[in-house]
Structure 1
Amino acid sequence: MPFTLSKILALLAQPSSVLVICVLAGLWLMRRDGSRLGRRLAWGGALGLLVCGLFPVGNLFILPLEQRFASVPRPAQSDRVAGIIILGGFEDGWVSAGRGGLGLNEAAERVTEALRLGLRHPEAKVVFTGGVGGLLARNTGAAEPVAAFLMDGGIAQDRLVLEGRARNTYENAVFTRDLVEPKPGERWYLVTSAYHMPRSMGLFRKAGFDVIAYPVDYRTRGAEDLMRFFERIPQGLMRLDLAVNEWLGLLAYRALGRIDELFPGP
Structure 2
Amino acid sequence: MMFLLSKTLGVLIIPPGIFLVLLLLSIFLLIKKRKKLATFLLSLTAFLLYLLSTEVGKNFILLPLENSYPYPDLNRINCEAIVVLGGGEIPHSPAENFWASVDPKVSKRLYEAFKLWRKVKKPIVVSGGSVFRSAESEAVAMKRFLTTLGVPSEFVIEEGKSRNTLENAIFTGELLHRNGIEKICLVTSAFHMPRSVRIFEAAGFNVIPVPSDYRVYRTPYSWYSFMPMPSYLRDSLWGVREYVGILYFELLQKERLLKWRAREDSNLQPTD
Give TM-score, length-normalised by structure 2. 0.80
Task: State the alpha-carbon separation in 1 of the partners of residues 213 and 223 from structure 2.
Answer: 20
Give 1:248 deviation, angstroms. Answer: 0.9
8 A contact 1:92–1:104 mirrored in 2? yes
Q: Which stretch shifts more, 100-109 or 80-89? A: 100-109
Task: State the alpha-carbon separation in 2 of the partners of residues 207 and 250 from structure 1.
Answer: 15
RMSD: 3.0
Name the residue aligned to 2:109. 110
Identity of aligned residues (%): 30
Name the residue aligned to 1:252. 248
Q: Does 2:166 align with 1:176?
A: no
Name the residue aligned to 1:150. 146
Give 1:33 deviation, angstroms. Answer: 4.1
Name the residue aligned to 1:74. 73
SS class of match (2:225):
coil
Q: Which stretch shifts more, 232-241 or 112-121? A: 232-241
Name the residue aligned to 2:22. 22
Distance 1:23 1:233, change over 3 A: farther
Q: Which stretch shifts more, 173-182 or 94-103? A: 94-103
Q: Report the AA paired with residue 113 of structure 1.
A: E
Unmatched 5+ stretches in structure 2: 258-272
8 A contact 1:90–1:108 mirrored in 2? no
Give 1:32 deviation, angstroms. Answer: 5.9
Give TM-score, length-normalised by structure 1. 0.82
Name the residue aligned to 1:13. 13
Residues 3-47 of structure 1, C-alpha deviations (whole Å, 9 max, x = no match) = 112111221122332233323332344356473333333343233
Task: State the alpha-carbon separation in 2 of the partners of residues 202 and 227 from structure 1.
Answer: 37
Q: Which stretch shifts more, 106-115 or 170-179? A: 106-115
Q: Does 2:76 align with 1:84?
A: no
8 A contact 1:56–1:227 mirrored in 2? no
Unmatched 5+ stretches in structure 1: 261-266
Task: State the alpha-carbon separation in 2 of the partners of residues 80 and 34 from structure 1.
Answer: 62
Q: Does 2:48 align with 1:52?
A: no
Q: Report the AA paired with residue 187 of structure 2.
A: V
Distance 1:21 1:125, change over 3 A: same
